[in-house]
Structure 1
């Protein structure tokens, strides 16, 4: 059948709607799912691009492609909470195997294109990947600051963890995003959503 593999791939992605993340929706009614997160960061990247340090070197379409597929691995590997150090052990290997399996549904060259975009995102070395990673990290941060910070409080996340994992990625990508991060981090501390 024409488009059989493309249809099988998009049907496989439907499972992202059932992968619950540790983060909560803004209204704290439930945990967000990976499909919602992916959509939100794709939109946020478009909004934040003017603030990127290397915006003239960033290909927004590549960033959007990267962000739209980088969490596809969660279908097989599940969501790994970025502040759970024990769960981070072996994360890349688990997710690489998942990426190869899921992207492998597609024919070449798209299968390799997606896999290479995923690898580039994980490496965080190119301007596109640095910016995409910052957007991916700041979105859950913003939801925690403006929500009740349930995912932080239930996991006893400390301010230095947020600074090291989120703040460094954000500041590497944008001075303005870094300034906003510092202001919002202080807000979270003042409101008792994070502890020293």
Structure 2
């Protein structure tokens, strides 16, 4: 820590704590009141890594680290969604540059380690990165179900479920998704009886 520039560290802290107040735009675009912030999403994913047991074959600590860095670039570029109509390659370039800027504030060793974790998540080649991507998608649909239930708006957020259909890979997350579908209120559950 002594080798780090304190002014750079303070800038890093200022940037990453923006995520406590930065909206998850998908919910905003769907007019979901009192919706989560980016940091809340990352926190929920990090807490889910505790569900992994030692027999999972996954590096639990690395999974937690991946959840905490996967959206860090959004502290600079914000949450870019498909509705923003920004081409995927442009989005990736913006996010990569933001992550480079952010991690450069922490020096070669620490910043390099964080940047490597971010790249690992982005490439989705390791079992841990694939698992964390599943958590990312699962947290999104779990949150969608929570808002539908809370606001008594069954199926209002169906687009989020549709966007993840058939994309889950990890067996444990697949079980969670199946249970979530069982828990999800149906349109007929909220209709009035004659």
TM-score by length of 1: 0.76
2:24 aligned residue (21, 34, 50): 21
- Taking a change above 3 Å as real, the CA distance of residues 159 and 69 of structure 1, as seen in their structure-2 partners, is closer
Describe the SS at the equivalent of 1:20.
coil
- Taking a change above 3 Å as real, the CA distance of residues 191 and 87 of structure 1, as seen in their structure-2 partners, is farther
1:131-169 residue CA offsets vs partner (Å, 9 max, x unmatched) = 11111210121111132177x837x72754230xxx41x
1:36 aligned residue (40, 44, 48): 40
Partner of 1:9: 12
What are the residue-to-residue correspondences of 1:89-100 with 2, within 5 Å? 89=88, 90-100=90-100
2:177 aligned residue (164, 175, 181): 181
Q: CA deviation at 1:29?
A: 4.5
What are the residue-to-residue correspondences of 1:38-57 with 2, within 5 Å? 38-47=42-51, 49-50=52-53, 55-56=56-57
Equivalent pair of 1:62/1:128 in contact (CA under 8 Å) = yes
- Taking a change above 3 Å as real, the CA distance of residues 97 and 158 of structure 1, as seen in their structure-2 partners, is closer
1:68-110 residue CA offsets vs partner (Å, 9 max, x unmatched) = 12211001111023x5483452221111011001111111111
Structure-2 separation of matches of 1:190 and 1:183: 14
Partner of 2:191: none
Equivalent pair of 1:23/1:31 in contact (CA under 8 Å) = no
In structure 1, the gaps of 5 or more residues are none
- The alignment of Structure 1 onto Structure 2 pairs a total of residues equal to 177
In structure 2, the gaps of 5 or more residues are 189-194
Partner of 2:109: 109
Larger radius of gyration: 2
Describe the SS at the equivalent of 2:11.
helix
